Amino acid sequence: MVRRIEWPTLALIVACYGLWAASGALLWQVAPVAALALMALMSALHSSLVHENLHGHPTRHRLVNETLVTLPLSLIYPYRRYRATHLAHHHDERLTDPLEDPESYYRARWQHDRMPRWLRHVLLVNNTMIGRIVLGPVLGAAGFLAQEARLVAMGARGVRPAWALHLASLLPLVALLWFFGIPLWLYVLAVVWPSLSLISIRTYAEHRWHDAPEGRTIIVERSPLAWLFLNNNLHIVHHQVPSAPWYALPRLYAEQRAHWQTLNRGYVYPSYWHLFRAHALHPKEPVVHPVLHQVPAPPPPDTEPPNPTPMRGQTA
């Protein structure tokens, strides 16, 4: 049976772009702080919608889905690059591997030992929830852009076209900001950074190391932010049924609540508030991966050792 258009997702995309544009065109002139706050919320929602679209929603046509979210409200991450790295992340048997999972926040021991001391400290702070909310967007963007620059220089397959499309899609967005009268620097500080900080609440503890791949993915049972995250607080359900649309996840979870909690080995929090209380100032995970890649393989004779893997960030 051919899947039909998922109208709730399509309606949410229209609402997201519509509220963002109305905030800039109308609200900015009379209540600039409220306008920027609403634009930040819509930019965070857009990140969640990008994540939804790259998993094959709301239509069965990949290019249609890409076009629907092509205006990059959060500026930084090209759709096609995020799609490539995120689908690689969905190989659950490699989840959290610092060399194989593009979204892992762990580092291999040999990577960590080569870092300057200040950077080790920054990464440890980044593993607290407050640190992830404040520093995570900056560290993630810096690591991502540095890695992408190397891939562009190497001519890696698909990277240059992805960036060309992204830069082209930035032009109308920058033109809209100019039309609204919102300075680009202010948009970055007051919209992009806060929107990525909001997404960092979700991504902070989505995955941990566990011997069983299913035990690496979290469940946060309830949250007023669930709508913003498109129910990806129920993350084990998404990883097990990635083809399910966002509005089906609560039903799938409720129907087999005990099954999901057993499957993910009890990696469950009642809410993000419980997570915050436990880890606001205390790292939830070590920076060094507890098991994988503790000792580097010796380099071949007369060759330079590989460069450390750059810092990686999370987008939707």
Please tell me the total count of domains within the chain.
1
Domain assignment of residue 310, yes or no: no
Residue 212 CB neighbours (<10 A): 10
- The answer to whether 169 touches 70, Cβ cutoff 8 Å, is yes
Cα–chain-centroid distance for residue 197? 10
pLDDT of residue 298: 56
As to burial, measured by CB atoms within 10 angstroms (0-12 exposed, 13-18 middle, 19+ buried), residue 125 is middle
Tell me whether residue 288 is in a domain: no
> Which stretches does DSSP call E strand in the chain?
219-220, 268-269
Lowest mean pLDDT among 5-14, 196-205, 215-224, 306-315: 306-315
Q: Is 201 inside any structural domain?
A: yes
312 occurs within a structural domain: no
Q: Rounded mean pLDDT of 259-288?
A: 97
The strand pairing partners of 288, in sequence order, are: 107
Residue 293 lies in a domain: no
Q: Which domain holds residue 183?
A: 7-279
- The pLDDT value recorded for residue 302 is 54
Please, is 92 exposed, middle or buried when counting C-beta atoms within 10 Å of its C-beta (0-12, 13-18, 19+)? middle
Are the CB atoms for 75 and 89 separated by under 8 Å?
A: no
Q: What is the pLDDT of residues 289-305, one digit of tens each?
A: 999 887 655 555 554 44
- The pLDDT tens digits of the residues spanning 44-53 come to 999 999 999 9
Residue 93 is classified by DSSP as G
Question: What pLDDT does 293 receive?
Answer: 84
